[in-house]
């Protein structure tokens, strides 16, 4: 009896203990309006729903107060319905799109679809804070581990010159550089996105056991998880969080000519005049540095160079030829500029080594005469005001159309660790280093938008950070080398950048440093090795969001390469003309970005469930219909190995590195391998031969064509032959239908510039192809705007072998539709 009583007593005590532990666990979190707060593993942890598909995680050492205002995130948490349930040690928060499990014992957080599919797990005990002295401020270095599935692929993290697409097994040290633009956002083939909201130097590393973000400085671990269902959906979540991409003017999608640098007003205007005389399309020209004079006047934002005596006339002359001008501005100032003299006494400059290092134009830099140039502090709103004040007065008032923001990372030369201790308006430079491009581009964008809505903002910039898509900026890949390997690197660099939720990207066509091709070839434009590389790069550039030819050492204007009737010249013209014929398609794809959070340069993995494209780094979709397979290996000339970088490239002794090659005719047909993704049939753009996907083919090529394939079910509009983007109305468009699957395309039109589209001043026409009935329906026009075409003609071609191929100009149409805005259907 006694033993039975003792046994029951022990059971009671055990049950009481279990109940007490359970009660303690149940009380171990606090529900909030956004999610929950709890203490895990000596940390304060908060889970906040920003929307049904986006959740924010904040972690900090227990009891340590901090204040965090994101530089990237603009979204405020929206009221989100969610439930909380606890089962054992696990608390589950569930919205209509996402389930988040918080393990109160291990501290691990895991993410699931509503259906229960596992998306991502933190590693157990995967959060780490290490004491760190940040220029006298007590803070932490932070580290977070995640566990990825063996078979998932991840992409993004900005632009890297690695030559690879997938980020699996990669170690990436993220500090902004000339040719590397880091954005701590990644997407997964499992349908989620992850944004690590930190601005200090950060290392991402993927190992077999875990993937991690490790940042030098962080008062807290702060990241956002978003479920998108696919890569497009995850990118849409990131833009919802950090801002939508506005429309660019139509003229930005034409052809742009540039070089380092036009040395006079007459030379600059003369280039535009020569293009008009030759009848070669051109929409823009760019004036590079030193229109301000010497290096002590660096970035004065004023025409102090006597070779530019009448800047207003220069701008007007360019405009009168129906072209546009953007101009180089920097993020640093010479000691004799007004900006420097106004900012320095206010502590608005950052005193570290930047470009140029000497006041004299010599290489190597003569350090006996330092330039004294210093970057400004864009984190300081007052400094951004001063920057715009001089930009507005010196350049914007002249009618210049856009800004080439060079060195926006910025150049950080002769790096010393103590440079990171420099004070900015928001703390140490170390703490906010990677967000420099976001702040400086944002400063110009916000000021210009406040000053005028008549002209859409267009900024060409060398660096980027999370959220920069909201500022009307197109990022170029920096001072990349002129080599075949560099060209190959650009494709995955652009695709990863695009999958970082920033849709506008481009490169220096031909590569920036080209001196190695000059040996024995004068200015280098007649060197077959450079000619072949340049044409192939140009053909790639025609299928990027901005087609812009630029570089040093070798001039890039078309007339330097020969004349009409010569192979290389004609190949260049053909490529530029092709770009212009696709403007209705490209401008509509741009609207798809603004309106539907789409992406223009699309890694094949975004659209095809095909294991062979998961790490494909040499093909992509441009828009949602055109498969581009650039020729990225030399076919006619030796593949010259060129070794230079953004620092050594300025050493003109490199001009002697090239080997002279024999004259080449470029008339032979060559071939290259192309993989056509599974899940679609494909039409050869040049022949309309239909080929089933899921196979690699051998494609014949010539110097004036690269492999292009159109996905079955596509509808593509082709515009008229023009000299500039707005020369002719789109009142007589060729509409090509590529059968084999149902298809849809929405043609977008507006006033081509200004922000009236935000007030609804635009129109859309949706084309639908029914494969079963072989019927094309042109839907009712929606919307209107000033100058809209009321009545127009659509010339319809059903793509079949030998008909409606390659360039426009055919009159062999299947149907011609007179369209007045009402729905019409035609059977083909």
Catalytic residue among 134, 180, 317, 406: 406
Mean pLDDT of 438-446: 98
Reported as a pLDDT band with limits 50, 70 and 90, residue 41 is confident
Beta bridge partners of 801: none
pLDDT digits (tens, 9 = 90+) for 473-508: 999 999 999 999 999 999 999 999 999 999 999 999
**Residue 449 contacts residue 423 (beta carbons within 8 Å):** no
Task: For residue 186, give the H/E element and its range.
Answer: strand 185-188
Sheet holding 715-718, edge to edge: 715-718, 732-737, 792-798, 815-819
CA–CA distance, 741 with 811 (Å, rounded to integer): 25
- Encoded tokens for 710: 């159109």
CA–CA distance, 165 with 150 (Å, rounded to integer): 17
User: With 90 as the cut, is the pLDDT of residue 40 above it?
Assistant: no
What letter would DSSP give residue 737? Answer: E
What letter would DSSP give residue 389? Answer: H
Residue 419 falls within a domain, yes or no?
A: yes
**3-state DSSP assignment of residue 334:** coil
pTM of the model as a whole: 0.95
Task: Give the least confident one: 235-249, 447-461, 808-822.
Answer: 808-822
Catalytic residue among 180, 181, 219, 409: 409
CA–CA distance, 441 with 464 (Å, rounded to integer): 9
User: With 60 as the cut, is the pLDDT of residue 581 above it?
Assistant: yes
**Residue 543 contacts residue 622 (beta carbons within 8 Å):** yes
Helix ranges, 221-264 (H): 231-242
Does residue 406 carry a catalytic annotation?
A: yes
CA–CA distance, 596 with 603 (Å, rounded to integer): 18
CA–CA distance, 128 with 210 (Å, rounded to integer): 14
CA 309 to chain centre: 36
What letter would DSSP give residue 613? Answer: G
Give the CATH number of the domain where residue 291 resides: 3.20.20.80
Reported as a pLDDT band with limits 50, 70 and 90, residue 10 is very low
Task: Give the least confident one: 313-317, 409-413, 797-801.
Answer: 797-801
pLDDT digits (tens, 9 = 90+) for 592-643: 999 999 999 999 999 999 999 999 999 999 999 999 999 999 999 999 767 7
pLDDT digits (tens, 9 = 90+) for 330-373: 999 999 999 999 999 999 999 999 999 999 988 888 999 999 99
Range of the domain at 568: 250-584
**3-state DSSP assignment of residue 504:** coil
User: With 90 as the cut, is the pLDDT of residue 4 above it?
Assistant: no
Mean pLDDT of 798-818: 81
Cβ atoms < 10 Å from Cβ of 303: 22
Contacts of 645 (CB under 8 A, 6+ apart): 179, 481
User: With 60 as the cut, is the pLDDT of residue 17 above it?
Assistant: no
Does residue 744 carry a catalytic annotation?
A: no
CA–CA distance, 515 with 527 (Å, rounded to integer): 11
**3-state DSSP assignment of residue 169:** coil
Q: Identify the residue whose tokens are 């934002």.
A: 301
Residue 577 falls within a domain, yes or no?
A: yes
359 and 497 fall within a common domain: yes
User: With 50 as the cut, is the pLDDT of residue 26 above it?
Assistant: no
Task: Give the least confident one: 43-47, 147-151, 549-553, 650-654.
Answer: 650-654
Number of domains composing the chain: 3
Task: For residue 55, give the H/E element and its range.
Answer: strand 54-61
Residue 310 falls within a domain, yes or no?
A: yes
What is the C-alpha radius of gyration for the chain, rounded to an integer number of angstroms?
A: 29
Closest CA to 549 of 219, 282, 818: 282
CA 793 to chain centre: 35
Does residue 122 carry a catalytic annotation?
A: no
User: With 80 as the cut, is the pLDDT of residue 660 above it?
Assistant: no
CA–CA distance, 129 with 106 (Å, rounded to integer): 16
Residue 603 falls within a domain, yes or no?
A: no
Instruction: Give the model's pLDDT for residue 562.
Output: 97
Across all residues in the chain, what is the average pLDDT? 94
CA 768 to chain centre: 30
Mean pLDDT of 155-163: 97
**Residue 439 contacts residue 380 (beta carbons within 8 Å):** no
pLDDT digits (tens, 9 = 90+) for 87-124: 999 999 999 999 999 999 999 999 999 999 999 999 98
Residue 614 falls within a domain, yes or no?
A: no
**Residue 707 contacts residue 729 (beta carbons within 8 Å):** no
**Residue 334 contacts residue 298 (beta carbons within 8 Å):** yes
CA–CA distance, 803 with 272 (Å, rounded to integer): 36
Mean pLDDT of 236-253: 98
580 and 717 fall within a common domain: no
Cα-based torsion angle of the residue sequence 489, 495, 498, 504 in order, rounded to the nearest 10 degrees: 60
**Residue 628 contacts residue 604 (beta carbons within 8 Å):** no
What per-residue string of b and e applies to 438-468 under the rule 16 or more CB within 10 Å gives b?
A: bbbbbbbbbbbbeeeeebbbbbbbbbbbbbb
Residue 301 falls within a domain, yes or no?
A: yes
pLDDT digits (tens, 9 = 90+) for 714-735: 999 999 999 999 999 999 999 9
Could you tell me where the beta strands, DSSP code E, fall in 427-503? 427-428, 459-461, 473-476
Mean pLDDT of 402-423: 97
Residue 137 falls within a domain, yes or no?
A: no
Give the CATH number of the domain where residue 773 resides: 2.60.40.1180
Instruction: Give the model's pLDDT for residue 362.
Output: 83
User: With 50 as the cut, is the pLDDT of residue 2 above it?
Assistant: no
Cis previous bond, 260, omega within 30 = no
Instruction: Give the model's pLDDT for residue 363.
Output: 82
Q: Identify the residue whose tokens are 């973000």.
A: 213
Closest CA to 791 of 757, 765, 758, 825: 765
Q: How large a percentage of the chain has pLDDT more than 90?
A: 90
Instruction: Give the model's pLDDT for residue 22.
Output: 37
- Encoded tokens for 274: 């020569």
Long-range contacts of 575-578 (CB under 8 A, 24+ apart): 575/535, 575/538, 575/539, 575/542, 575/704, 576/255, 576/280, 576/281, 576/542, 576/547, 577/281, 577/721, 577/807, 578/542, 578/807
For residue 573, the number of C-alpha atoms closer than 13 Å in the C-beta half-sphere is: 20
Reported as a pLDDT band with limits 50, 70 and 90, residue 23 is very low
Q: How large a percentage of the chain has pLDDT more than 70?
A: 94
User: With 50 as the cut, is the pLDDT of residue 15 above it?
Assistant: no
CA–CA distance, 60 with 44 (Å, rounded to integer): 5
CA–CA distance, 509 with 549 (Å, rounded to integer): 4
What's the residue count for the chain? 828
Residue 609 falls within a domain, yes or no?
A: no
Reported as a pLDDT band with limits 50, 70 and 90, residue 155 is very high
Residue where one domain finishes, among candidates 565, 584, 603: 584
**3-state DSSP assignment of residue 631:** coil
User: With 70 as the cut, is the pLDDT of residue 561 above it?
Assistant: yes
Instruction: Give the model's pLDDT for residue 13.
Output: 35
Instruction: Give the model's pLDDT for residue 273.
Output: 98
**3-state DSSP assignment of residue 533:** helix
Instruction: Give the model's pLDDT for residue 653.
Output: 63
Mean pLDDT of 511-534: 93
- Largest interatomic CA distance in the chain: 113
Helix ranges, 209-302 (H): 231-242, 265-278
Instruction: Give the model's pLDDT for residue 647.
Output: 67
- Encoded tokens for 278: 């030759």
673 by Cβ neighbours in 10 Å (0-12 / 13-18 / 19+) ranks as exposed
261 and 407 fall within a common domain: yes
What letter would DSSP give residue 754? Answer: S
**Residue 367 contacts residue 357 (beta carbons within 8 Å):** yes
Catalytic residue among 181, 206, 479, 814: 479
């Amino acid at each position: 009896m006694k033993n039975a009583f003792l046994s029951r007593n022990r059971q009671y005590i055990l049950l009481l203990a279990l109940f007490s532990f359970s009660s303690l666990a149940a009380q171990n979190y606090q529900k909030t309006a956004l999610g929950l707060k709890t203490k895990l593993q000596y940390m304060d942890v908060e889970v906040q729903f920003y929307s049904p598909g986006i959740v924010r995680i904040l972690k900090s050492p227990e009891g340590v107060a901090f204040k965090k205002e994101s530089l990237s995130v603009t979204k405020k948490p929206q009221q989100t319905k969610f439930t909380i349930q606890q089962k054992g040690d696990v608390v589950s928060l569930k919205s209509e799109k996402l389930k988040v499990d918080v393990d109160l014992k291990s501290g691990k957080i895991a993410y699931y679809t509503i259906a229960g599919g596992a998306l991502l797990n933190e590693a157990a005990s995967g959060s780490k804070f290490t004491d760190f002295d940040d220029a006298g401020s007590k803070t932490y270095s932070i580290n977070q581990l995640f566990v990825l599935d063996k078979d998932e692929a991840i992409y993004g993290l900005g632009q890297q010159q690695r030559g690879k697409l997938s980020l699996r097994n990669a170690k990436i040290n993220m500090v902004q550089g000339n040719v590397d633009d880091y954005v701590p956002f990644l997407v997964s083939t499992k349908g989620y996105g992850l944004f690590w909201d930190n601005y200090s130097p950060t290392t991402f590393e993927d190992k077999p056991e875990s993937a991690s973000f490790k940042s030098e400085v962080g008062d807290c671990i702060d990241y956002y998880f978003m479920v998108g269902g696919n890569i497009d959906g995850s990118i849409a979540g990131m833009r919802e969080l950090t801002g939508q991409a506005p429309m660019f003017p139509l003229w930005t999608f034409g052809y742009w000519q540039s070089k380092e640098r036009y040395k006079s007003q007459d030379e600059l205007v003369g280039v535009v005049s020569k293009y008009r005389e030759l009848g070669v399309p051109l929409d823009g020209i760019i004036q590079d540095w030193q229109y301000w004079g010497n290096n002590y006047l660096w970035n004065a934002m004023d025409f102090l160079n006597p070779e530019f005596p009448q800047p207003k006339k220069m701008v007007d002359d360019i405009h009168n030829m129906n072209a546009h001008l953007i101009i180089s501005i920097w993020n640093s100032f010479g000691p004799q500029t007004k900006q420097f003299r106004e900012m320095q006494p206010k502590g608005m400059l950052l005193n570290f080594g930047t470009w140029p290092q000497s006041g004299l134009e010599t290489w190597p830099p003569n350090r006996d005469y330092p330039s004294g140039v210093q970057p400004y502090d864009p984190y300081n709103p007052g400094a951004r005001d001063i920057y715009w004040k001089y930009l507005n007065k010196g350049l914007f008032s002249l009618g210049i159309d856009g800004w080439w923001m060079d060195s926006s990372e910025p150049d950080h030369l002769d790096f010393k660790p103590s440079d990171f201790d420099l004070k900015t308006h928001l703390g140490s430079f170390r703490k906010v280093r990677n967000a420099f491009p976001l702040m400086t581009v944002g400063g110009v964008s916000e000021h210009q938008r406040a000053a005028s809505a008549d002209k859409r903002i267009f900024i060409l910039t060398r660096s980027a950070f999370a959220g920069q898509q909201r500022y009307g900026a197109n990022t170029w890949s920096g001072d990349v080398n002129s080599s075949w390997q560099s060209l190959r690197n650009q494709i995955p660099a652009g695709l990863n950048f695009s999958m970082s939720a920033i849709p506008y990207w481009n490169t220096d066509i031909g590569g920036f440093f080209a001196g190695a091709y000059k040996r024995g070839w004068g200015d280098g434009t007649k060197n077959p090795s450079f000619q072949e590389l340049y044409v192939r790069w140009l053909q790639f550039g025609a299928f990027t969001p901005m087609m812009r030819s630029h570089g040093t050492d070798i001039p890039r204007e078309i007339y330097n390469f020969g004349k009409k009737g010569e192979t290389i010249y004609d190949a260049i013209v053909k490529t530029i003309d092709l770009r212009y014929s696709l403007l209705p398609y490209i401008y509509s794809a741009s609207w798809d970005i603004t309106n539907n959070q789409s992406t223009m340069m699309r890694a094949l993995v975004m659209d095809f469930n095909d294991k062979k494209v998961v790490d494909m780094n040499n093909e992509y979709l441009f828009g949602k219909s055109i498969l581009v397979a650039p020729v990225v290996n030399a076919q006619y000339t030796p593949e010259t190995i060129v070794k230079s970088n953004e620092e050594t490239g300025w050493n003109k002794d490199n001009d002697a590195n090239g080997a002279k090659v024999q004259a080449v005719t470029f008339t032979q047909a060559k071939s290259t391998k192309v993989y056509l993704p599974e899940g679609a049939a494909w039409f050869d753009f040049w022949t309309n031969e239909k080929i089933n996907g899921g196979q690699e083919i051998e494609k014949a090529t010539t110097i004036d064509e690269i492999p292009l394939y159109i996905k079955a079910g596509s509808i593509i509009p082709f515009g008229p032959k023009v000299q500039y983007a707005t020369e002719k109305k789109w009142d007589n468009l060729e509409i090509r239908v590529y059968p084999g699957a149902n298809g849809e395309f929405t043609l977008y039109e507006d006033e081509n510039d200004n922000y009236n589209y935000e007030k609804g001043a635009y129109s859309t026409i949706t084309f639908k192809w029914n494969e079963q009935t072989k019927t094309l329906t042109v839907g009712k026009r929606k919307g209107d705007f000033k100058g809209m075409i009321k009545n127009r003609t659509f010339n319809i071609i059903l793509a079949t072998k030998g008909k409606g191929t390659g360039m426009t100009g055919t009159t062999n149409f299947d149907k011609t539709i007179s369209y007045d805005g009402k729905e019409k259907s035609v059977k083909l």
